[in-house]
Amino acid sequence: MTREIVKQDVELLALLPEDSEAKKLLAKHIDATVRKIVEDEDQRTRDHAGSCLAIGFLGVSAGLLAVSVSRGGAWWWLSVPAVIIGLLGAFGLGQDAVPRRRDARGRPL
């Protein structure tokens, strides 16, 4: 999204007159925004191991729910751990799949 805004700002910059104060200000703003984008992208990472583990939790949850629905009867109790495991998987995926700044151990800052 930010790159699209920068692209629009560059197009606007080309339309402004050369001796305009606004053109100088917009050029400085574009420069600062591009620097921020580049620096931020270098520092933001995903935790791939955590993402895979979270997807595994979601798969186990889906499997337990499928068994509880297909077997019926007293098997409905499997839905309790399935919901808990599914919530853990969803929370873990939200934490690890989103690019974030992380410390040396991989924990989100």
- Residues whose CB falls within 8 Å of the CB of residue 100, separated by 6 or more in sequence, listed in order: 44, 45, 46, 108, 109
Of 57 and 100, the one with more pLDDT: 57
Confidence at 3, pLDDT banded by 50, 70, 90: confident
Torsion of CA 93, 99, 102, 105, to 10 degrees: 50
pLDDT given for residue 42 in this prediction: 64
The average pLDDT across 73-92 equals: 93
Per-residue pLDDT reduced to its tens digit, 26-68? 999 999 988 887 777 667 777 788 899 999 999 999 999 999 9
Residue that is written with structure tokens 């910059």 in the block? 13
**Measured torsion, CA atoms of residues 88, 94, 100, 101, in degrees rounded to the nearest 10:** -20
Note the pLDDT of residue 48.
Answer: 81
